[in-house]
Amino acid sequence: MSLITERSKISPFMVFYIIMSMQIGVGVLGFQRIIAQTAGHDAWISVLVAGAGGHLILALMYWILQKANGDFIHLHHQLFGRWLGNVLLLALTIYFASMSFVVLRTYIEVIQVWMFPDLRTWEFALAFLLLCLYITRNGFRVVVGVCFFCLIIPFYLLFTFGSVLEYTNFRQLLPVLDHPLPSILKAAKEMTLTMLGYETILLFYPFLKNGQQSSKWGHAALLSTTLFYTLLTVLTLAYFSEKQLQRQVWATLTMWKMVEMPFIERFEYIGIANWLLVILPNVCLGLWCSSRLCTHIFPIQQKYALLVITCICFAAIIAVQDRTGVNTINEVISKVGFYFLYAWIPFLAILTYVRTKRRDAQ
């Protein structure tokens, strides 16, 4: 494990803010339609199932990190050798960089559809990525600070959904369990992209003081985001009929239209503008994770790796110009994230268990 000074480490309770800020992103604005297409008015159950699966995978991650002395990168070298281990780590580098790319490109699309149709993709992407580059280049503790403040500052938006309650009909959620179990599980799988982010613990774990003590905070964050998504799904299903919801690409923004204030007519503009703070830690931490992986694969300093990855993300963003391309990228990352969490992590756990047993037997 590379030497990390005590000054560079953070307290265990900060894991709560890191994981929550990563899980609450641009997906909040329109995930409801995707899961309702499969599970209908039982979609809220799928969110709970996805959250329960996330807790199991997070517990498995902590177990793997404990057996690997907190170094997930070195574990790959131990299990697969230097060459194959680096190939797998390179795939993880692309994965975390793609998370940043998907979040930012999807957010730009929201701005273009709802606010500024003539906004050039490259202009906003360049300005935003330069900000992310400035933040991330100053180290992990600065990124954590951004995660904290960008979770606390937009928190008031949660109370704005109260304006929707008078237009809801919760009888639309009945009967419960009206859809078959395979449909509910499929919808839970489709929640993967929305709930991605807690796997970053695998890379920032060495930066934690008393890492095992952060387990309760990690699970608390995952529970909080699960409850948030569940409540938002219930509210959406009570507000829209199933047929109406199928026509709402951005259901959360549509509900924000019902917010009435004497000094502003279109509150969804406020919500979209504030959501820039929400996605900022998503992009920053994704870039930090991918650049940190690069330093263990290639003989390069993290600041230079960060610059290269940011440039690649910028090129990828301006290359995707239409809605079809954005949807395709979202679907690909969702599938990759699902198999990474629910196939690769258990596979690593099995290999780690076998390796530990063999070592104890010798």
Q: How many domains does the chain have?
A: 1
Domain-embedded: residue 247: yes
Residues of the domain holding 18: 12-331
| 24 within a domain of the structure (yes/no) | yes
| Residue 227 within any structural domain of the chain | yes
**Whole-number pLDDT of residue 1:** 45
Q: What is the pLDDT of residues 290-348, one digit of tens each?
A: 999 999 999 999 999 999 999 999 999 999 988 788 888 889 999 999 999 999 999 99
pLDDT of residue 107: 96
* pLDDT tens digit sequence for 263-274: 788 889 999 999
89 is a domain residue: yes
What CATH number is given to the structural domain containing 264?
A: 1.20.1740.10
Asked whether residue 360 is domain-assigned, the answer is no
- Which of 156-170, 225-239, 282-296 is least confident? 156-170
Query: What would the pLDDT profile of 196-255 be if each residue is shown by its tens digit?
Result: 999 999 999 999 998 889 999 999 999 999 999 999 999 999 999 989 999 999 999 999
Q: Is 336 domain-assigned?
A: no
266 secondary structure, DSSP code = -
- For CA atoms 124, 113, 23, 154, the dihedral sign is positive
pLDDT for position 56: 97
Cα–Cα distance measured from residue 185 to residue 163, given in angstroms and rounded to the nearest whole number? 31
HEC assignment per residue over 262-281: CCECCHHHHHHHHHHHHHHH
- Number of Cβ within 10 Å of residue 127's Cβ equals 10
How far is it, in rounded angstroms, from Cα 137 to Cα 132?
8
Tens digits of residue pLDDT in 184-198: 999 999 998 889 999
Task: Assess if residue 350 is contained within a domain.
Answer: no
Q: How many percent of the chain have pLDDT more than 90?
A: 83
Given a cut of 60, whether residue 2 has pLDDT beyond it is: no
Is residue 359 in some structural domain? no
Q: Map tokens 């809801």 to a residue.
A: 168
Average pLDDT, the chain: 93
